[in-house]
Amino acid sequence: MDARREVIESLRRQIERLHSGSRPRKALPFGVTPIDGHLPAKGLASGALHEVIESGPAAEFAGAATLFAAGILARLKGPVLWCLTRRDLFAPGLMQVGLHPNRVIYAETGRDGDVLPLIEEGLHEKGLGAVVGEVTKLGLTASRRLQLAAEASGVTALVIRRWWTVAQKDLTHAPTAALTRWRITPAVSDDLPAQGLGRGRWQVELMRCRGAEPCSWIVEACDAQGRLALPSNLAHRSHPAQVRGSAGG
């Protein structure tokens, strides 16, 4: 019996070691206490693959998802590689959340499938702050490869899922090896006392996360430094009121 227990113990230790090896060391906090508290790494784990999906009226254009990603990039250090297939990105918009154009290098290809090798190539480069890819199709194998590359180099990978047809949209529900999957939906912003538009507001959903339950928050959109914030009229409510039920897969 003792021998058996010993074997089991040693196996457990091995598994633990394996886990800690692949566990990301650092994380980038969002600066929003409920989100950071919910995430196992107390922030967006660096050296891992994260997916961002947009839903909403103009979700094909991923305006909010792009801004969400750019806000994260703005708070990271180092140059950023942005791999894309379409030329609809408007760089001055990225500067609004603090991502300076000098930091971003774009790599453009004509085909969706060619973006993934570019992302992987970028993830091998330790000097980069992060790699962003705009991808329609992200399979399990491909995402695992990216995740491993990110773990090895410690570079954060963000994948913005783009889709143009209903069939392509369904692809975004397929499982991937990404550490987290976020869904950004524009939400109605606060009324200002006068005419005009205030700070945007998003519903940020954590749809999938290794080691945490799905969850959803309403936050104020990125500011000039790329920071999210809790809406002032929600910030002082009790915790359950602002955390809505999960949106599911």
Site residues, other proteins (CB under 8 A): 56-58, 61-64, 66-67, 70, 78-79, 81, 87-96, 100-102, 104-109, 114, 117-118, 121-122, 125-128, 184-189, 191-192, 195-197, 200-202, 221, 224
CB of 231 to other proteins, least distance (A): 12
Distance set, CA 40 to CA 28, 68, 162, 185 (Å): 12, 20, 27, 23
The residue among 44 and 94 lying less far from other proteins, judged by its C-beta, is 94
State whether residue 239 is helix, strand or coil.
helix
Task: State both tokens at 241.
Answer: 């009121």
The size of the chain, in residues, is 249
Compute the half-sphere exposure of residue 148: CA atoms within 13 Å on the CB side of its CA. Answer: 6
H or E element at residue 193? none
* 39 or 131: CB nearest other proteins: 131
| Residue 105 vs 235, nearer CB to other proteins | 105
Nearer to other proteins, 30 or 202 (CB): 202
The CB-of-105 to other proteins minimum distance in angstroms stands at: 5
CA atoms lying within 13 Å on the CB side of residue 223:
10
Please give the backbone phi and psi of residue 209, each rounded to the nearest 5 degrees, phi first. -155, 135
- Per-residue tokens: 130: 């992060």
Closest separation in Å from C-beta 162 to other proteins = 10
Query: Closest approach of Cβ 115 to other proteins, in Å?
Result: 10
**How near is the Cβ of 176 to other proteins at its closest, in Å?**
23
Nearer to other proteins, 21 or 57 (CB): 57
Smallest gap from Cβ 110 to other proteins, in A, equals 9
- How far is the C-alpha of 199 from the C-alpha of 233, rounded, in Å? 13
Q: Which is nearer to other proteins, 20 or 102 (CB)?
A: 102
Give the number of other CB atoms < 10 A from CB of residue 158.
28
- Convert 45-68 into a string of H (helix), E (strand) and C (coil): ECCCEEEEEECCCCHHHCHHHHHH
